[in-house]
Amino acid sequence: MSFTVAIDGPAAAGKGTISKAVASHFGFAHLDTGLLYRAVGAKVIHGMDPLQAARTLTPRDLEADDLRTSAVAQMASKVAVIGEVRGALVAFQRSFAARDGGAVLDGRDIGTVICPDADAKLFVTASAETRAERRFKELQARGQADTFDQVLADVKARDARDAGRTEAPMVAAGDAVLLDTSEMSIDDAVAAAIKAIESSRSGGL
């Protein structure tokens, strides 16, 4: 039997960490759908047409070493506004979501577009400053030279692009549980997510 968990939210809100922990807790498969767009973005940076990159995407592309750079993140946000690119990736995501044994998908339009009938939906968010600080520390740990001000500007620009796009804008589903992690530890955030999913899971797996 399938059980689908949709976790949406902006960059660096903690949804990836929460999604992995939730998947591990319940024994569900996990898909970071942002990696799909990052992998397409990386191919575009290397000279490929965005639509061709999306149509030829393979699971192996999701393992590339350069998918966490700022340049790829910005390009991922840019290609994500292209309707044809999003369409090319929908089938991949929906197939994953319907797999037996349960699945957790995190992204920006999972609960609204990809899996509007998901069994549980969360929207994970945090203030732009909090998210920029988290991303800045990640980049520093990788030896990348962005300044905090640049990271904050990038976060705000990406938020505006993701929320303002015509095709599948980032917005919380009407029935999603809102989880603001600005003042939460990761353990508290994971516990809150698990509690929300368990309350939706009655009669599920």
Determine if residue 33 is labeled as part of a ligand binding site.
Answer: no
Assess whether pLDDT exceeds 70 at residue 193. Answer: yes
pLDDT of residue 19: 97
Determine if residue 203 is labeled as part of a ligand binding site.
Answer: no
Q: Strand, helix or coil at 117?
A: coil
Assess whether pLDDT exceeds 70 at residue 204. Answer: no
pLDDT above 70 coverage of the chain, percent: 98
Superfamily of chain region 4-200:
P-loop containing nucleotide triphosphate hydrolases (3.40.50.300)
- Span between the terminal Cα atoms of the chain, in Å: 7
pLDDT of residue 11: 86
DSSP 13: S
Determine if residue 189 is labeled as part of a ligand binding site.
Answer: no
pTM flag (> 0.85): no
Determine if residue 10 is labeled as part of a ligand binding site.
Answer: yes
Confidence of residue 183 (pLDDT cuts 50, 70, 90): very high
Determine if residue 11 is labeled as part of a ligand binding site.
Answer: yes
Assess whether pLDDT exceeds 90 at residue 187. Answer: yes
Q: Which residues of 160-182 are buried (b: 16+ CB within 10 A; e: fewer)?
A: ebbeebeebebbbbeebbebbbe
How far is Cα 203 from Cα 165, in angstroms, rounded to an integer? 37
- pLDDT higher at 175 or 1: 175
Q: Where are the domains of the chain?
A: 4-200
- pLDDT single digits (tens) 30-68: 999 989 999 999 999 999 999 999 999 988 898 898 898
- pLDDT single digits (tens) 120-176: 999 999 999 999 999 999 888 888 767 999 999 999 998 998 888 887 888 999 999
Asked if 96 and 105 touch (Cβ cutoff 8 Å), the reply is yes
